[in-house]
Amino acid sequence: MPRIPPEVIEEIKNVANIVEIISEYVSLRKVGKNYVGLCPFHQEDTPSFTVSEEKQIFHCFGCGVGGNVFTFLMQYKQCSFFEAVEEVASRYGIDLPKVGFSPEEEAVYKRRKQILMINQWAAKFYHHYLLQDPEAQKARAYLAKRGIGKDTITAYLLGFSPPRWDALTRFLQQEKADSSLAVETGLIVEKTEGRFYDRFRERIIFPIFDFKGQVIAFGGRVLDDSLPKYINSPETPVYRKGFNLYGAHVAREWCGREGKVLVVEGYFDLLSLHAAGIKYAVATLGTALTPNQARLLKNLASRVVLVYDADAAGQKAAIRALPLLLKEDLVVDILLLPSGDDPDSFVQREGGEAFLQLLHHAQPLLDWYLKKGEEETKADLNQRYQFLQEAISIISLFKNPLMQSHYQDKICQLFSIEPSLLATLTPPQAHSLHRQDTPFISIESMPAFEKNIIKFILSYPEYLSWFIKEDILQEVKHPLLHSLLEKIVKFYEEHNTVDVNGLIMDIEEEPLKKLITRWSIEEGEYDKPEEIAQGFLRLLRERQFKRLLKAIKEAEIQGDWQRLSVLLRQKNELACDLKRN
């Protein structure tokens, strides 16, 4: 763990609000005193991801993951602890002192920073080559022909890779970049030991940025029709496919102004729109929209307009995206382009004004989907039945019951069916998202007494000192529960309290974190907790008394009279204590 002064972490913890931060990535709604939403770490159709604002922790009752605001960011963004702390501190205007790291943390942190630096060097190298080198004239002409001017080239740091095998390799060697890290970025490839060559050669280069504006990956396109037309960076410690949206670092500001975000498929779809002055667009880079991308879209705007290619594949992609976007409580529209067009070809032919006029005719995606389904299933009742099941499954994703009712009425009118018949349709299992109901750990197999006493202590830590006096650690035998109780007692002895959020920071074992967050959020509320504590203490003494009786019998059999004397004295004292209580 980084050696950040405890007082600084405490300050950040006291200021940060876990609900505010997680809400940027997960759609939450308040249920009782907690907030719930669909888990970002596994697929589910019923919310089991719970956030406690009071305790500043989260727990998923589906997959078992849990923790505090820092562990959430570490898992969601695949970043280090320091980077998570750094992000939260930056959000709340808290300056972090320059501190050292543990060797392991320092290695991870430096590796990520160096990869980002190599990416930045490469992006600037390609960009400079495109703008300045005579060899890149054909690339400049290619972009100009497609309507991509210097402003757009600069905004997205577009580049061109030289046709030579080692142009970037030599440049990175001059910059003294670590060759192994350069290989890890995917920019260069090791042919034989100590010999490298450039992955991207004679291609338009599209740097891919994260929300912070850092270059995390690259795409490259040939200038002709040779194959492969596109090649892309592999996954790295700073880049995971499906976790980013191309152009989001530029679109972020414009989406806020417009109140919507356009979603297109490819690089040139987005660049053509930007060149035409339409700057609130992002691209999924030709892949199906992912749940993580849907959450990123929610950070940009509350309304999403899908502008996919006007072909069967584009329409299917829009339909697949619908449930993901509805789960994020987004308003989802679709813009239907003329047959054979994509955003790039339409804007190049008709211009930006014509596109904006067309945008006024965008329609709710679900309405379009229902009309399309009604037309396509007229001749086959089995197909119609399957479509209606699918449609009902999608409508059930609306968080607003009025919206559900509105679309149920629309289905009845559009398909000419009675509401009573609609109620009999069951969403198909094939279209239901998988929910992980299997417990992450076999809690049921744990001794009930040991489990319940720890749950009580987490809810009412003010009584922990009573249990410590009764040597509670000797009574909890289950290995996982004993380890957890040791951590709780140690934290109490150091801090004179048990703060669940702080306790999580001190624990590295994931199973223990999961138990803490689950039981803390599940906490029971008792009218008379002191009486409950007294009841647990009595049970503890009764267990001790039974153990003493067993030990006395063993001492008698072994003829250990000295030990027997001690045990009998302890038995008498405990018996008197039990009578008094």
The predicted structure's pLDDT at residue 436: 39
pLDDT at 277 over 80: yes
pLDDT digits (tens, 9 = 90+) for 26-44: 889 998 889 999 998 887 7
Mean pLDDT score, 201-221: 93
The predicted structure's pLDDT at residue 91: 84
3-class secondary structure, 201 = coil
Q: Measured between alpha carbons, how far is 58 from 65 in angstroms, rounded to an integer?
A: 8
pLDDT digits (tens, 9 = 90+) for 111-165: 888 999 999 999 999 999 999 999 999 999 999 999 999 999 999 999 999 999 9
- CA torsion angle for 246, 247, 253, 257 (degrees, to 10)? -90
Q: Measured between alpha carbons, how far is 515 from 93 in angstroms, rounded to an integer?
A: 32
The burial class, CB within 10 Å (0-12 / 13-18 / 19+), for 154 is: exposed
Which position has the token pair 């009752």?
Answer: 61
Average confidence score pLDDT of the chain: 86
Which position has the token pair 């291609």?
Answer: 203
Task: Tell me which residue of 234, 246, 241, 282 sits closest to 261, measured CA to CA.
Answer: 282
Measured in Å, how far apart are the chain's first and last C-alpha atoms? 46
The predicted structure's pLDDT at residue 438: 35
Q: Which residue has the higher pLDDT, 62 or 152?
A: 152
pLDDT at 465 over 50: yes
Mean pLDDT score, 191-208: 92
Name the band, by pLDDT with cuts 50, 70 and 90, for residue 440. very low
Mean pLDDT score, 274-296: 89
Instruction: Identify the top-confidence range among 119-128, 243-252, 389-398.
Output: 119-128
Q: Measured between alpha carbons, how far is 96 from 86 in angstroms, rounded to an integer?
A: 7
Length of the chain equals 581
- The one-character DSSP state at 246 is B
Mean pLDDT score, 467-482: 83
pLDDT digits (tens, 9 = 90+) for 72-98: 998 887 777 888 888 898 888 887 776
pLDDT at 432 over 50: no
pLDDT digits (tens, 9 = 90+) for 518-554: 888 886 666 678 888 888 878 877 777 777 777 777 7
